[in-house]
A and B are shown apart, each in its own frame.
Chain A
Amino acid sequence: MALVEIKGLRKSFKDLEVLKGVSLTVEKGDIVALIGRSGSGKSTLLRCINGLEETQGGTIEVGERQISAKMAGLREYRQRVGIVFQQFNLFPHMNVEKNVTLAPVLTGKVSKAEARKLAEECLAKVGMLEKINAWPEQLSGGQQQRVAIARCLAMAPELMLFDEVTSALDPELVGEVLKVMEDMARQGMTMVLVTHEMSFARNVASKVVFMHQGKIWEEGTPEAVFGDPQTPELRAFISSTHH
């Protein structure tokens, strides 16, 4: 049974239909890369999976459970699904440790006494252990993003969503974040990520999904999608990303 099963998903903002019947299956351990032009609905799809947006049609099932922005138990569900945003969204008034442990402590996942140890473990996974007492504003963008990933890991999610997590970074900082994501992939984390890093999609993803005008236009293995694109839209998109 697939971990994520999306069928005919529709989403509009007022009159603007942004997702026009999207169907997508994500198996456990899959690394799904969403690619496509800006405005094609990639972020909206991720936000729907996280229950951040109300939808107008279709279904989202995660772990055989129907997901919606208004469902009972949304909070418990979100504790099992991590999402990392382009702008990091760390809590600026808390140090790194507190950022990582706030949710696990408030939701009763760990006691206050165990929290420090949890923070250390999660920060070690993203190579940020030595910054445990730092404040967000003292960190580079790449470091902040790695803390944001550690913050999600602290909830021990079974699914991670990434929305262009390297797009706001200086080019020299992109690699350190991608490396963390690659490590997570290797350890079997199920991930759905929106990315403009085509080499990452090519090398790490198990499935690449090309979105266009609110629809899944083409999908397949990286080899198929990049090596043998079937539609002119995908061909145009791929050649536009070559520099």
Chain B
Amino acid sequence: MRSFGSIDLLSFTTAFQYTVLLVIMALALGAPLALGFATMRISRFLPVRLLAAIVLQIMQGIPLLALLMFVYFGLPVFLGIRMPPLMAVVIAYTIYTAVFLGEIWRGGIEAIKRTQWEAGASLGISKLQQFRHVIAPQAFRIALPASVGFLVQLIKGTSLAAIVGFIELTRAGQLSAAATLQPLLVYSIIAAIYFAICFPLTLLSRKLEVRLHGSR
């Protein structure tokens, strides 16, 4: 046993960077997929819509932790390859982001009246241009508060990656608590770090929400 000291703080700092990395990668890879998933959900083609609906139902029905374990422990069995933890967690969080952020964006897109699409169409601009210039900017504004709310969920959710041995903030806390036998102190610090990031975001989300509903 050793006492809690700068070495622990240093390891938290490093681990925190991995938490941030994980969040950024999940967003960078998941957001484009989320856009794709949102458009699948509102597709004119029934099979596409159906497929997206099934994926959504499955994802809504399983906990994030189970998804994580499935990707890390399950997939290798059936693909015959072992995955490094980083890859497994990035895949899992990307899927998570694609589906749940996608669902938020679908809500934003569907909140825009059909007449806005029609106004664009009747001016002779393409479907893609209607989406890009007319629908998306309005939908984005509507979906922004919920998207920031999702970001908070994602940040907190990355703590589950500890289970597959990925050393992010929570896992670093576990290791430090075990080494110093000071769980109260350690987990208080860990909690404070999460809180310091998530609380301002939560406030921001709420503020955006008020602005959205206050002005219309």
- Measured CB to CB, the closest approach of chain B to A113, in angstroms, equals 19
| Stretch binding the partner chain, chosen from A28-36, A79-87, A202-210, A212-220 | A79-87
Question: In the assembly, what is the distance between CA of A76 and CA of B126, in Å?
Answer: 10
**Is B110 an interface residue, CB under 8 A from the partner?**
no
CB within 8 Å of B: which A128-164 residues: 151-152, 155
List, in ascending order, chain A residues with CB within 8 A of B119's CB: 85, 89-91
The answer to whether A107 touches B115, judged by C-beta atoms less than 8 angstroms apart, is no
Question: In the assembly, what is the distance between CA of A152 and CA of B138, in Å?
Answer: 22
The answer to whether B137 touches A151, judged by C-beta atoms less than 8 angstroms apart, is no
The answer to whether A79 touches B123, judged by C-beta atoms less than 8 angstroms apart, is yes
Given contacts A93-B137, A93-B138, A93-B141, contact A103 B115 (CB under 8 A): no
The interface bits of chain B over 112-139 (1 if a CB of A lies within 8 angstroms of the residue's CB, else 0) are 0001101111111110010001100110
- Measured CB to CB, the closest approach of chain A to B118, in angstroms, equals 6
List, in ascending order, chain B residues with CB within 8 A of A92's CB: 138
The answer to whether A107 touches B138, judged by C-beta atoms less than 8 angstroms apart, is no
The answer to whether A78 touches B124, judged by C-beta atoms less than 8 angstroms apart, is yes
The answer to whether A76 touches B124, judged by C-beta atoms less than 8 angstroms apart, is yes
The answer to whether A106 touches B115, judged by C-beta atoms less than 8 angstroms apart, is no
Given contacts A85-B115, A89-B116, A89-B118, contact A103 B123 (CB under 8 A): yes
> How many cross-chain pairs have Cβ atoms below 8 Å apart between A and B?
52
The answer to whether B125 touches A83, judged by C-beta atoms less than 8 angstroms apart, is no
The answer to whether B123 touches A52, judged by C-beta atoms less than 8 angstroms apart, is no
The interface bits of chain A over 92-105 (1 if a CB of B lies within 8 angstroms of the residue's CB, else 0) are 11000000001100
Question: In the assembly, what is the distance between CA of A82 and CA of B126, in Å?
Answer: 16
- Measured CB to CB, the closest approach of chain A to B145, in angstroms, equals 17
Contact of A89 among B115, B126, B129, B141 (CB under 8 A): B115
Contact of A52 among B122, B126, B137 (CB under 8 A): B122
- Measured CB to CB, the closest approach of chain B to A13, in angstroms, equals 15
Which single residue of chain B is at the shortest CB-CB distance from A86?
A: B115
**Is A75 an interface residue, CB under 8 A from the partner?**
yes
The answer to whether A151 touches B115, judged by C-beta atoms less than 8 angstroms apart, is no
The answer to whether B125 touches A52, judged by C-beta atoms less than 8 angstroms apart, is no
The answer to whether A155 touches B123, judged by C-beta atoms less than 8 angstroms apart, is yes
List, in ascending order, chain A residues with CB within 8 A of B138's CB: 92-93
**Is A195 an interface residue, CB under 8 A from the partner?**
no
List, in ascending order, chain B residues with CB within 8 A of A52's CB: 118, 121-122
Question: In the assembly, what is the distance between CA of A75 and CA of B141, in Å?
Answer: 28
The answer to whether B133 touches A106, judged by C-beta atoms less than 8 angstroms apart, is yes
17 further contact pairs, Cβ within 8 A, besides A52-B118, A90-B119: A52-B121, A75-B125, A75-B126, A78-B121, A78-B122, A78-B123, A79-B124, A85-B115, A89-B118, A89-B119, A93-B137, A102-B133, A103-B123, A103-B124, A151-B123, A155-B123, A155-B124
Can you pick out 20 interface pairs between chain A and chain B where the beta carbons lie within 8 Å of each other? Answer: A50-B122, A52-B118, A52-B121, A76-B124, A78-B121, A78-B122, A78-B123, A85-B115, A87-B115, A89-B119, A90-B119, A91-B134, A93-B137, A93-B141, A102-B123, A102-B133, A103-B120, A103-B123, A107-B124, A152-B123
